[in-house]
Every structure is written in structure tokens, then in C-alpha cells.
Structure 1
């Protein structure tokens, strides 16, 4: 399966991003995502699309006993092993759709900015539900449907180069979207809000929190950050396996 993160040029540009260099503190959504984590002391955590392993590191720093981080990109896994090693963390080259999802195996499943690359997101939700222990948590951050439905995922600009508005088209037509990201052609998957929310509910989850990412005040001085208040870019959801599973 093709993966943009195996492209040398793309990977080099990705490495220059603040969140790549500085970790979670440089991620604009972290101030909202961090409080959604359940208590992790003594727990097991699965990270889907772990990237550099920042959330794996956060999990063990907060008491997790065992963490598995999977990512389709070998380059990402090599970087995770180098940047965030720990004997409680296992890193594995594996796609989100290819992982075996053993039944009742994990207390918490987390995924950050990876699920918008998945075509059949409902199937992944069902697999995550199966692999969560009763009472387990599924916490993820995905590109917002308004963002993925953006035409070219970019603004319409005025003559002076300032963003005029964010165009949305084909919202109710889920599927592949082509865009330019970090100077490379990237393919993502657009999912409607209904698909995401109802996919979780149909899988058996109880939704505990749903938030749209808003940049923190201390990042508003970064060029272009104020424009992030004009349309949502990320959707954060916390879901829980409430009932005792009998299947």
C-alpha cells in the first residue's frame, strides 16, 4: 500500500513541522486532547498511526504498563524508536487496517491525525470496539469533515494573498480527496460527520466527548493561526465501551 510518509521529500518536510521537532507541546490540539485521556496508570494502550511516538511516550509517562504503537510507515517507526524509546513501548510497522485487533486486549486505543487516511472507517471502529476491554476508551483526533470537504483543502485567496473564504464542495460524497501537503500530492479520505458519529454508535460505543479543535491563545501569534478560527480543522472524539461484551 502506498504511503506518503515513505516519500523522502515528504518525510523531510514533515520533520520540519513544529509538532515533529517539539512534540505534543507544539500541537495546537493538545490542550484539548490531553484532558480527554482516561487514567492510564497500570493500563495498556494501542496507538493507531503512532508517527514519532509522542502519544506512546505520554502514555508511559502517565503510568501505562504496555503500549503498542503501529504505523504503516517504516520511516515513522524508525523515528519513534529513536526519539521515544522505552521498554514499555513496542513499535511495529503495520497499517491500521491490517492490525489483527485481538478481542478485549486494550484499555485505551488512541489515534491522532491518521483515520482520515482510512477508506472504510466504520470497519475500523468495529475492530477497535472488539479490541477494547469492557470499560475501555477510544480517543481519536481526525481531520474535520469541513476541512476534508474543502476544495483542494485550501483557501480561496484575494489578490493580496490573504484568505477570503474556505470553499466546501461534495460534502455528502465520501471518498478520496487529493490535496497538496508539504509540497507533495497526498490522498486522504473524506467522511461526513454522520458517518463518523453514527459509525461509532453502530459499533457499540458511547460517545463521551466531541470537540472541534481551537488553537490555544498562546499560539495566536503564529502566522496564519488566527485563520484557524474561521473553519474547523480537527475533530476530537472520546468514546467508551460501556456494556459488558458478550459477543
Structure 2
């Protein structure tokens, strides 16, 4: 199933409003972690899988990338990317990641920010990425942490009578597969995978593990989003860097 929740009018409005606030887990946890793993971008060719509105693609060219391809299933996201983050060195393509075909094209770097957990066939995408990388090219991606996606009932923090977080309910960890939840709209589907599956699938497709992060908030995030301190108790994201080896 190729899910396109970002073209749903309610979801698109609420999600873009959240991201434009600049006060999100993406701003203070996930994006700083992704950027901390980036190589020097000077002269590099970059593929951004699930590029959204193009902020990261623009970041790459602003830091020296020679060419960036941004891919996203959402026509609304691509339209906004072309309006707000256009550049002569960026090409935006509206297409599901699973259907991407770039004949005779190789990349120094493939990056994906919080898109992998929407993809049913993770192995097929990793195989595709491996085939698109030059030797010693890098694949860096973030996904929802398996601790977050594990519970099949999509339960959140267990709270006491005063509303304080007691603990995170971890269950169904080894039962990989589809999870469904409400996020602005009903029926948002993600796919749970164990950490071992995330890593071993890379290894099986010629990618060597270079770094794994379970990131915490930046100091600024702790000041403006006090609740983000809960990342020390239960990480929201996992960020993985791998390198193509022959």
C-alpha cells in the first residue's frame, strides 16, 4: 500500500501548520541528529526520499551539494517545495518512493527523514537505495523508534491521576507489520520493525553500518518545549547511517 496522507486537506493543513511553527520534535531532535551525521556536502549529488516541502533539499544545496533530487508522493508537498524551496540545483519529483526509477543515475548520498516507517516493503526500498549509491556512498535515514511503533493498540504514555507520565507501554515488539492510529485524521498507517530488522536489512543489501543514534533534544528544545525532556525516558526516533560497500 502506498499511503498519501499528506494530500488529505485536513492532514496537510494541520501538519504544515505544525512544521511552520518551528517548535517541534523534528526541529529539536530529529533534524539536528540527521544533520550531525552528514558528510561534507561540497560537490555531492543527493537524493532526498520523502522530501516534503523541500527544506532539507534547500539545506543541502546551501551547503555545497552540486545537485539534489527531492522525491515525495504528495503533490501538495511538491507544489509547496517548488514555490518555497526552489533552486536551479534541485529537481522535485512527485512519485512514491517505492516507484522511483532513475536510470543511469548514481548518488553520493541518499537521505530520508521520517518516511521509511510509511513504507510496507522496507527491504525493497533498501535494495533500491543500495543500487543508486556510488561506492562508499552513504544512506542516512530516520524513522520512528521501534519502541514507539511496537504497541499494536497505538497506546501512549500511561498517566497517573494528575496526568503525569508514569511509563511507556512497550508490547508486541517482535510482531512486525502494520500499525494504524489517529494523527489529525483516522487511519494513518505506519509499519513497525525491530531494530535488528532495520540493521540486518541494510547489511543484507551491501550497506555497512556506520552510526546509530537515538537522539535527545538540543538545549534550545528543552527551553521552549519542556515536555521534550521525556525523550530521555523513551526516544521518539532512531537515526541510522550506513555506507555502500562492494
User: CA offset at residue 21 of structure 1?
Assistant: 4.2
- CA shift for structure 1 position 131: 0.6
After TM superposition, where is structure 1 displaced by more than 4 Å over at least 4 residues in a row?
none
Does the aligned pair in 2 maintain the 1:147–1:153 contact within 8 Å?
no
Deviates more, 1:88-97 or 1:34-43: 34-43
SS in 1 for 2:125: helix
* More off after superposition, 48-57 vs 142-151: 142-151
- Give the aligned partner of residue 238 of structure 2: 235
Rounded to whole Å, the distance in 2 between the matches of 1:70 and 1:203 is: 22
Displacement of 1:153: 4.8
Which moved further from structure 2: 20-29 or 116-125? 20-29
Question: What SS is found at the alignment partner of 1:152?
Answer: coil
Counterpart for residue 34 of structure 1: 35
Q: Deviations over 1:181-223 (max 9, x none)?
A: 2354311010111110000000011111101021112211314
User: What are the ranges of 5 or more consecutive residues in structure 2 without an aligned counterpart?
Assistant: none
Aligned-partner Cα distance in 1 for 2:47–2:155: 30
Q: CA RMSD for the aligned pairs?
A: 1.9
Is residue 47–residue 111 contact of structure 1 (8 Å, CA) maintained in 2?
Answer: yes
Verify the 8 A CA contact 2:28 2:218 in the aligned structure 1: no
* Post-superposition offset of 1:103: 5.5
Note the C-alpha offset of 1:158. 2.1
Kept in 1, the 8 Å contact 2:115–2:143? The answer is yes
SS in 1 for 2:154: helix
Indicate yes or no: 2:195 matched with 1:193: yes
Name the residue aligned to 1:209: 211
TM-score in terms of structure 1 length: 0.92
Q: Which residue of 2 aligns with 1:137?
A: 138
> Measured at CA, do residues 164 and 103 of structure 1 come closer, stay the same or move farther in structure 2, by a change above 3 Å?
farther
Q: Distance in 2 between matches of 1:195 and 1:93?
A: 28
| Counterpart in the other structure of 2:63 | 62
5 Å-filtered alignment, 1:73-112, equals 73-102=74-103, 105-112=106-113
